[in-house]
A = this chain, B = another copy of it.
Amino acid sequence: MKKGFRVALREVVRPSSFFRIHVRACRRFQSPFTPAKHALFAYSTVSKSRHSASVASRLLGATLVVACGITTLVLYPPVVYADAPIQSEGSLGRKIRLHEVKKHGQSAETKWITKGTRVYDITEWIPGHPGGEVILRGVGGAVDQYWNIFTIHKKQEVYDILESYYIGDIDLRDLVNGQVPAENVDDPFKSDPKRHGDLTVHSERPFNAETSTEELNKFLTSLDAFYVRNHLWVPRLDEFKHSLIVEMPNGEEKVYMLKDLKEKFEALKITATLQCSGNRRRHMTSEARSTNGLQWNVGGISTATWTGVRLRDVLADAGFPVDDWPDDVKHAQFMGAEAYGASIPIDKATDKRGDVILAYEMNGKPLPPDHGYPIRVLVPGNVAARSVKWINRIVLSDEESNSQWQRRDYKCFGPNVGGNPDWDSAPAIQEMPVQSAITSLRDISPNSQQDNKLLQVYGLEEDSIVVEGYAYSGGGRRIVRVDVSSDGGRSWQQAELLPNEAKGAKSWAWERWRWVLPRQSAGRCFVVKAVDEAYNSQPDNYEPTYNVRGNLTSAWHRVGYRPE
C-alpha cells in the first residue's frame, strides 16, 4: 500500500471521525446501535487497523475498516442489525446444532461462535475486534473460556456488540444439563509445553509458577526453574517461520525473521532480573488484608543472562530516528503471538543505556517455550509484564498499548482505593521500587567440615546462622546497602553483597547477599531491607502500600527463627 494512501486512510479512520461517520450511517438506516456501541465500534475498528497481525491481514483489515464500517452499513443494514435482539436473552433465532457451528470455523467463509447457549455470526466483527486475530481461535465453537481469560470483555458495551450478531440458539439435543458438554469446548492451553522444573505451581491454565527456594539461592536461575508468568496459552512457534513486524508511526512496516536479526545486528548479553509485580503478594495478604491475584511468595523473580539485539538498532534500521524522534511518538507497543500486549515509553525503547533487547537466548540457550521462544523483548529494570514474550509486532505510537495488561492489571492505587478504581488515574507500572527478601536461613556448625570452611571465612568458630537472600531495584538502580536484623528490626547490621558478573550498562540484576552471625547472638525474627543508589528504602509494614491487587509488595521481609 502506498504511503500517501496509508496516511490518508489513517486520517479517515481516526476513532473520532469514524465515530461521526458511523453514527451518521446508523441514523440514516435506523440502526439500533447505542452511542456506547458507536464509540466502541469506531474505536475498535480503528484499533484493528493499527494492530492487525500481518501485512496481508492489515491490508485486508484496512480495506474492511472502510468496507465494513461504511459501505456494509449502507448496503446491508437490516441483515446486520435489524434482526439482532438487544440486551435481551430471548430465543428469537433458530435452533442450531453444534456440528453446524463447527463448520463455521477458521477456514469457513462465515465465522460463528457460541457463548453460553447462544450462537453468533461474527464474520463482520472480526476486522473490528480490538484484540486482533486472537478472536479466530474461538470461531467454530465456544468462546466462554476465552471470555474468562480476557476479562476486559465483561462489560455491557461488549455484550451489546456481541448481541448484535446473534443468529440463534444451540439445539437442546446438544446440551447436557442446559450446557455445552466440556468435550465440545476447545482447550485454549492445548499447545502448552510439558514442564519439568523445580517450580511451585500457582495456576496450571494459564501456567504460573514460582522459582523454588533452592534456585533462588543462585545468582543465575536455571532455565527450568525460572519463574513462569503466563497470561494466556503458550503459542507453538517455529523460529524459521516466525516473523517480527515493526510498524513506524506513519504506518510503514518492516518485517524481520529471527535469522535477519542475528545476521544484521550486533548481539549483546544483558544480565537482568525479571520480577512479577505480584512477587511477595502473599505477604501483603497475610500481614495486611486479602488481595486479588496469584499469591506469590518470594519466588516471583528470577535472573538470567539474555542474548539478543538492541531494540534501538532494529528501530533505527526500520527507519525510526532513534536519537531525535517526533514529539508525538511516545510509546513502543509490543504484541505477543498469543494475544498478550504491553508497551514501554519511547525513551526507554531508544535509550542506548536502557539495554532493551530482542532476546533469543537465555543463559546461552534458546529461549524455552514458556519464556518466549523464539523471541521476546527484554526490558531490563521494568516490571516483567513489559518484556513481552513471543513478540511478533512492534508499533511506535502516540498511545500506550490498549491491552488490559497495560491499561488495568499492572497498576497500583492508594490503600484507600477499592477494587474498582478510576483506572486512568494511575500510570501503568514500569520501573519497580526497591525490594529484598530472605531466601535461606540455616544453622551451621564447626563440626561439619563444609560449614567450617564457611565459618573460617567469617572468622567464626562457633555454631552460627547463615542468612541469604536477594535485593533488587528497578530502573537499573544499583543496590548500595542491605540492612539485616535478627531482632525484628530494633538493631541492624550490613549484609555482605556477594560478587557476581552481571553484564549491562546499568544494574539490571539483583544482588545476592549473605550474613553470617553466631547463633547465640541471634534474636528470633530476621528482617531484611535494602537501599538503592537513589537511597530509596522499603516500607517497614504492608499497610501504607496496601492495594487490592496486591501489586508491588515490598515491605521489609521478616522470617521467624527458632534454633534447632
Interface residues of A (CB under 8 A from B): 323, 347, 351-353, 412-417, 426-427, 429-434, 474-475, 477-478, 480-481, 483, 489, 491-494, 505, 529, 533-537, 539-541, 544-545, 552
Contacts and interface: CB of A to CB of B under 8 A. Distances in A.
A433 B492 contact: no
Contacts of A415: 483, 492
Contacts of A505: 347
A483 B414 contact: yes
A338 B544 CA distance: 45
Contacts of A427: 478, 480, 533
B414 A534 contact: no
B533 A481 contact: no
B544 A537 contact: yes
Contacts of A535: 412, 429, 431-433, 552
A493 B536 contact: no
A478 B310 CA distance: 26
A431 B531 CA distance: 12
A52 to B, nearest CB: 32
Nearest to A506: B347
Contact of A529 (B351, B432, B533, B544): B544
A414 B494 contact: yes
Contacts of A544: 483, 489, 529, 537, 540
Contacts of A412: 535
B491 A536 contact: no
Contacts of A534: 430-433, 474-475, 536
A238 to B, nearest CB: 38
Contacts of A426: 480-481
A483 B480 CA distance: 28
Contacts of A539: 537, 539-540
Contacts of A491: 416
A536 B434 contact: yes
- Most B-side CB within 10 Å, residue of A347, A481, A529, A537: A537
A287 to B, nearest CB: 15
A415 B426 CA distance: 34
